[in-house]
Structure formats: C-alpha cells, structure tokens
Amino acid sequence: MRTIQFREALREAMSEEMRRDKSVYLMGEEVAEYNGAYKVSQGMLEEFGPDRIIDTPIAELGFTGLGIGSAMNGLRPIIEFMTFNFSLVAIDQIINSAAKMLYMSGGQYNVPIVFRGATGNAGMLSAQHSQNFENWYANTPGLKVLIPSNPYDAKGLLKSAIRDDDPVIFMESEVMYGEKGEVPEEEYLIPIGVADVKREGKDVTIVSFGKIIKVALEAARELEKEGISAEVIDLRTVRPIDYAAIVNSVKKTNRLVIVEEAWPLAAISSEITYHVQKNAFDYLDAPIQRVNSLDAPLPYAPNLIDVILPSVKRTVESVKSVTYR
C-alpha cells in the first residue's frame, strides 16, 4: 500500500468528494491562492476554480455564517479555520445556527457542513493558539466531532463527514500534517462513531484520540517492558463516543486510564469516566485515572510545555497506579 502525508490524505478526501458531488466546496482563509496555510488544499484551486475554492477575508464569523446559509440551501461547504482557536470568533454561528437549525426548523433544514482545521498544541505558539475545544463542541446537541490520529483515518473520516447531513467538527493536529501513513488508492469510508483498537491488551485499557494517541501507544510499549499488557483504544470520534468499545475493553482488563490533551474540568475523559463507572463499575479493580494537560494556559517556554502536556511518563505512572505493580 502507498504511503502519503496526513495533509495529502485530507486533500484527496476533499478532492474526491468535490469530483463526486458538485455541491461540495471549500472556503476559508488562504485556501485558494496560497494553497492553504498548511498546504492541505494545494492544487485544488487549479482543478476546481475560484467558485469552489474560495479565499475569504479574516472574518470567521462572516464566512462561517455564509457557509451555513449555503448549506441550508442545498450546498455542502467545507469551512476551514486556520486554527480552531480562531473558531471562537465564529462560535455563535456554529452553536446557535448550524447545530440547532434542524431542530428549530422542525426538520425542514439540514445543515450538511464540515468545519475543519488545526487544533491543540503545535509547539511554541503560547496560550492563545494552543487550545483544545473538542469538549466544548461535543457538549452541543446537533454537532458531530471527529479527531483522526493518522492519514488513513483522516481520509476515511473526512469523506464520511462531507457526506453527512449534519454539521461536523473535524479537528486535525497541526504537527501531524507532514506525518506519513498507509492509505489505499481505492475509495473507502470510515463510519462516524466507531472507535479503533490500536493495540490489544489484557491488564489495562488506555483510551485516547488525536495526536495524543501516540503518547498512549508509546506508554503501552514502555509498560510492556515491565510485563504490563495495555490495550489502546483510539476514539476517532468524540461525539458520538463509542462507549460500547470502551466498556467491552474495561470488562476484559478491569482498569482504565484516559489520556487527553484538553484541560481536566468537563473534559471528554470526565464523560467517559462517568459512563464507565455507571455501566461497568463491578468490573473495575481500581479507580479510573485521567492524564490531561495541567489546568493552566499553555506557556511559550518549551520546558514548561513539556510539564503541562500529557506525557509518556505521566501515562506510565497512572497505569502503574491502577495495576499495583
């Protein structure tokens, strides 16, 4: 199987869907003439033209509203945010228009729109450009929230998101755009709401998603050296969450550690913890542990960034605390 970059997988997904369906278009800052801030849309302007690859002013609230209106009128827009930190400017349109329109219109208006772009820490970008908002958006009825961790999942999930009749938040890690992975040349879709078991294990379940899945997998490899077998689950989707996959794994391993980049209060890990203790409490041999970013804005200094973000060391320590070894 061929190997391509994360950004190329996203580009292929968008291009294939635009060739398949003329109602699909891409709109955002620098997506056309500049080929995308991270070169995800490179070459798409030449193929599809300025009517379908549309550069916008620096006005997220405005072009998000335009996209939602066009979706209500039969188009399928992909709205790119240069970073999801900038989506806060448009959050009123996302939450109060896109997410609620089907409900408020009594089923008369679907909003088939994808909001996609970079999320989370990407190095020394400091407090205002290093945040995770997946738990914010996942809290909202009417939205679906997807966070792929590799090129294969990125392409399959994005194609499913574009075809979905509901608004989808599609979050990518800025530091993953250049990462490579195996992606088939033939068409495939990955269903929304289905987790992926990245690694089988019997002693503890580690749940994660997005780029932090790499921390979970590295921790599992370190734990294996000490005789601890960790099962690693990649959620891929945080709304809807594949609770069944998590609960079934916990029933096998009897222990759970959740690794997540977001701050700890009201995080995705909090919701998973509640659900597992409600539905698999009798199977737990130890309290559920969470490894989140520390409850503080992300600093600029790289040594402090390392302290705040979830790490292999903190994950290994959390696993050992529940396996009593």
Which active-site residues does the annotation give?
A: 60, 129
Burial class (CB in 10 A: 0-12, 13-18, 19+), 62: middle
| Bond preceding residue 50 cis, omega within 30 of 0 | no
- Rg over alpha carbons for the chain, rounded to the nearest Å, is 20
Contact 148, 177 (CB under 8 A): no
Q: How far apart are CA 183 and CA 9, in angstroms?
A: 7
For 147, the token pair is 């966070």
Helix (H) or strand (E) holding 181: strand 180-182
What residues contact 79, with CB distance under 8 A and at least 6 apart?
27, 28, 63, 64, 67, 113, 114, 115, 116
Q: Which of 201, 247, 235 is nearest to 221 (CA)?
A: 201
Indicate the pairing of strand 204-208 with strand 24-28. Answer: unpaired
Helix orientation angle between 213-224 and 312-323, rounded to the nearest 10 degrees: 50
Q: How far apart are CA 203 and CA 228, in angstroms?
A: 6
DSSP class per residue in 215-281: HHHHHHHHHHTTT--EEEEE-SEEES--HHHHHHHHHHHS-EEEE-SS-STT-HHHHHHHHHHHHSG
